[in-house]
Structures are given as structure tokens and as C-alpha cells.
Amino acid sequence: MPKHTVTLIPGDGIGPEITAVMCRVVEAVGVDIAWELAWAGTEMLEQTGSPLPTETIESIRRTKVAIKGPITTPVGSGFRSVNVELRKQLDLFVNLRPVLSLPGTGARYDNVDIVIVRENTEDLYAGVEFEQGTSAALGLIDYCERAGAGHIRADSGLSIKPISISGSKRIVEWGFEYALANKRSKLTAIHKANIQKFSDGLFLKVAREVAQDFEGRIEFEDRIVDAACMGLVMRPHEFDVMVLPNLYGDIVSDLCAGMVGGLGLAPGANIGTEYAVFEPVHGSAPKYAGKDKANPTAELLTAVLMLRHLGEKDAADRIMTAITSVLAEGRFVTYDIKRSLTGSTAGSVGTVAFAEALINRL
Ligand code: NAP
């Protein structure tokens, strides 16, 4: 019997290519994993009538751990994000996104080591939306006016931003516990509480209360999201662990990815009390699909997070060392890294050649 069974969701776009090489690299370090293949996305919608078939959710409920490639979400219309739905159905309330500058990647900043802890179930991502012109939207507009909440133009579409005490408490506590367990020194709560007093204001109030329980062990500060973005670009070394509501977490983690070489290098994990689904920060980059071009490093660093979660620390460390060494050497790097280093993609290698260089190193 294999030591671990993990649900593998290849996704679409560049997903199948980067997850295929990820499996090869994990197998090369000798971890005994049985992959349980599961599918989601547009093709599933056509075949089964749902972009997230119940078999996929059932597989994760059985294995408790999944790793996935990105899945395309139609913009503006069509089905809701499969990624958001997975997080919701499995109550994966933490989105952990470490941001680390690695030598040889052309990162704009050296020695950045920030951990983003993004709330994953609430905020404008909750999916509570009312389409412009519908009776529900018009009724809500009317209700807001009658409740004295202000005037909303009648031709508006509406998205609701729920932020709760319980949702804020568990994510901020998780951030502090993570900081303690990983010997971090500071936690910064990010918000826009000066403007959104009842949603971000509540998040900040809860964060300050939770911070009191960790006083003397982890330093606490809060920053307004726009000022935090400027601070990140000007003095990134002032940040350590950041805890953010969902939407700011989404935006700030792409900003941070840009500081350390781009989305091809940014890993992530969705974690709940029972299940964990590992996935890179980036999307399906459709223009590179099937071209053997995408950088699989983000997916590989995501596998490193997964191996640590599975208790396979040695295997995780070995992959991390191999990635660091191949990137630092600079002979086998994908187009995005070559472009950051030289301004041109000439001399870069493809997804598979980069992974093979890693496997040789292992
Ligand atoms: P994206 O797929 O992340 O791609 C944006 C750009 O980031 C790419 O054009 C490329 O930039 C760079 N990039 C992303 N992944 C890379 C990789 N592995 N290696 C090298 N460069 C990489 O974002 P998008 O185009 O906005 O989104 C495409 C689809 O993905 C959308 O449907 C979106 O909803 C979905 N999405 C899914 C997830 C998920 O499954 N968790 C997450 C985010 C977005 P250059 O061309 O400049 O090199």
C-alpha cells in the first residue's frame, strides 16, 4: 500500500504540463505517493454538466490532500470559479502564499521572505452578487435607500462584501500560530478600515483583540492596504507575516510575486481544519498552453509545501535545494526568468528541460 494518496487535479491551460513534471520530480525523490486523478473545469462542464464534479470533491474528502494545476474561469459571465468553489465546499479558510526571493531568478529584490496569509472564504469572493437590472438587485437598491445606507444608482450591479467576527478570528489566529511555529517575529494585518468601517473595521478590531493573546511573543502592526502596497515596493524587508482579507490577499500576493521574479515562482496552499489543496498562485496562462514554455517552479514549490504537510521534510528539502541550485546556476531556466535576467528570452529552455535538469540534480 502506498504511504500517501493524493488527489491530483491537472487543471487546464498550462496546468497539465506543469503538474506532469511536478509528479516526475516528486517521484524522483522517492516519495511513495499514489496519485488519484480528478478533473475540473470547462471540459468537465461539457462532459458532466458541472465544472466541479462530485467525484472530484469526494476524492479530496477521501484523500484529505490534493495538489492542482490552475483552472480557467470565464471572465464576466459563465460559471463561477472552480477554485473559489473548492475552497468554499471544503472550508479551506487559509490561503498560504510564501514569497521568497531566490538567487538567479532576476528578482527585483534580494532577501525578501514574506508569508501571505489570505482569508479564503469571505469578502467580495463570497460570491453574493446581484446582476444589474434584476428584481433582486433593484429590491436591494431600494432596501439600502430605505435603510438610510445611501443612494445607489438604479442601473448598478451589486457585489456584497461579508466579513465576520468568526471568519476574521480564525484567520488571524492561524496567522499568529503560523508565525510562532515558524519562528517569525512580526504579523501585519492589512485592511481599509478607514473607509469600509463595518467590514474591514470589524476585521481590524478582531485582529487587534487576537494580537493581545500573542503580546510579547509576536510583534503586531496594522496597515491600510494602499499604504502597505507602497511600503512593500519601497521597503519590503519591513514585512514578515501578513494577514489579509480575501480580495486584498489576492491582489497583494500577485504584487509580491512580481517583486521576486513573477508568477512562475509563486507557490500556494489552501488549508482548512480537515483538508488541504495545494496550488500555485498563477492562473492557467492560456497563451502558453501546450507550448512547453511555462515555468513549473511555482507548481514545484507548491509540491514542496505539500510534502512538508505530508511530513516528508527530507524530500521537500531536497527538491528545494535542487530548485535553488539549478536556478542559481542559470543554464536551464524558462523564458520568464531569462527575460528578467537579460531582457530577452533567448537561451531559455522549456518546461520539460527545466524539470529534467532538476531531476538530474536530484
Ligand atoms: P495567469 O494565468 O496567472 O497569467 C498571467 C501572466 O503571468 C502570464 O501571461 C505570464 O506572464 C505569467 N505567468 C503565469 N504563470 C506563469 C508560469 N507558470 N510561468 C511563467 N509565467 C507565468 O493570469 P490570467 O491570464 O489573468 O488568468 C488566466 C486564467 O487563469 C483566468 O481564467 C483566471 O481566472 C485563471 N486563474 C486561475 C487560478 C487558479 O486556478 N487557482 C488562479 C488565478 C487565475 P507573461 O506572459 O508576461 O510572461
Instruction: Indicate the CATH number for domain 1-98+265-362.
Output: 3.40.718.10
What digits encode the pLDDT tens for the residues 165-186? 999 999 999 999 999 999 999 9
Atom of ligand 1 nearest to the CA of 74: 32
Any ligand 1 atom below 6 A from CB of 294:
yes
Any ligand 1 atom below 6 A from CB of 36:
no
Atom of ligand 1 nearest to the CA of 82: 40
Any ligand 1 atom below 6 A from CB of 73:
yes
pLDDT of residue 292: 98
Any ligand 1 atom below 6 A from CB of 358:
no
Using the predicted structure, report yes or no on whether residue 1 has a pLDDT greater than 90. no
Supply the DSSP symbol for 158.
Answer: E
Class for the domain spanning 113-118+163-259? alpha beta
Kind plus residue range of the DSSP H or E element containing 355: helix 351-361
What digits encode the pLDDT tens for the residues 63-86? 999 999 999 987 776 677 889 899
Any ligand 1 atom below 6 A from CB of 285:
yes
pLDDT of residue 42: 82
Q: Count CB-CB contacts under 10 A for residue 113.
A: 14
- What is the mean pLDDT of the segment spanning 89-95? 97
Atom of ligand 1 nearest to the CA of 280: 41
Atom of ligand 1 nearest to the CA of 287: 9
Integer Cα distance of 24 and 314 in angstroms: 17
Q: Which of 263, 288, 338, 352 to mutate to test the pocket of ligand 1 (most atoms within 8 A of CB)?
A: 263
Task: Give distance in angstroms: CA of 206 to centre of ligand 1.
Answer: 33
Using the predicted structure, report yes or no on whether residue 23 has a pLDDT greater than 80. yes
Integer Cα distance of 337 and 264 in angstroms: 8
What digits encode the pLDDT tens for the residues 99-131? 999 999 999 999 899 999 999 999 999 989 999
Integer Cα distance of 256 and 282 in angstroms: 12
pLDDT of residue 77: 67
Using the predicted structure, report yes or no on whether residue 252 has a pLDDT greater than 80. yes
| CA 232 to chain centroid | 18
pLDDT of residue 147: 95
- What is the mean pLDDT of the segment spanning 178-197? 97
Any ligand 1 atom below 6 A from CB of 71:
yes
15 near 72, Cβ under 8 Å?
no
Name the nearest CA neighbour of 180 among 210, 149, 160: 210
pLDDT of residue 250: 96
Q: Is 25 helix (H, G, I), strand (E, B) or coil?
A: helix
Q: Whose CA is nearest to atom 34 of ligand 1?
A: 73
Beta strand residue intervals within the chain, DSSP E:
4-9, 33-37, 65-68, 94-100, 113-119, 129-130, 158-159, 186-191, 219-224, 241-244, 269-271, 276-278
**Beta-bridge mates of residue 97:** 116
Task: Give distance in angstroms: CA of 167 to centre of ligand 1.
Answer: 28
Integer Cα distance of 258 and 266 in angstroms: 9
267 near 256, Cβ under 8 Å?
no
pLDDT of residue 46: 84
**Beta-bridge mates of residue 7:** 36, 66
Any ligand 1 atom below 6 A from CB of 351:
no
Any ligand 1 atom below 6 A from CB of 282:
yes
Q: Is the dihedral of CA 47, 51, 53, 58 positive or negative?
A: positive
Supply the DSSP symbol for 6.
Answer: E
What single letter denotes the amino acid at residue 136? Answer: A
Q: Catalytic residues, which ones?
A: 125, 192, 226, 250
In the chain, where the domains are located? 1-98+265-362, 113-118+163-259, 123-162
Of 34-48, 129-143, 348-362, minimum mean pLDDT range:
34-48
What digits encode the pLDDT tens for the residues 322-347? 999 999 999 999 999 999 999 999 99
Helices and strands in the chain, H and E counts? 13, 12
- What is the mean pLDDT of the segment spanning 212-234? 98
Instruction: List helix spans (H) across 260-350.
Output: 297-309, 313-329, 335-342
- What is the mean pLDDT of the segment spanning 23-44? 94
Using the predicted structure, report yes or no on whether residue 297 has a pLDDT greater than 70. yes
- In this prediction, residue 48 has a pLDDT band, given cuts at 50, 70 and 90, of confident
pLDDT of residue 47: 87
Q: Which of 284, 299, 341 to mutate to test the pocket of ligand 1 (most atoms within 8 A of CB)?
A: 284
- What is the mean pLDDT of the segment spanning 236-264? 97
77 near 213, Cβ under 8 Å?
no
pLDDT of residue 45: 84
Using the predicted structure, report yes or no on whether residue 217 has a pLDDT greater than 90. yes
> Across all residues in the chain, what is the average pLDDT?
96
pLDDT of residue 80: 77
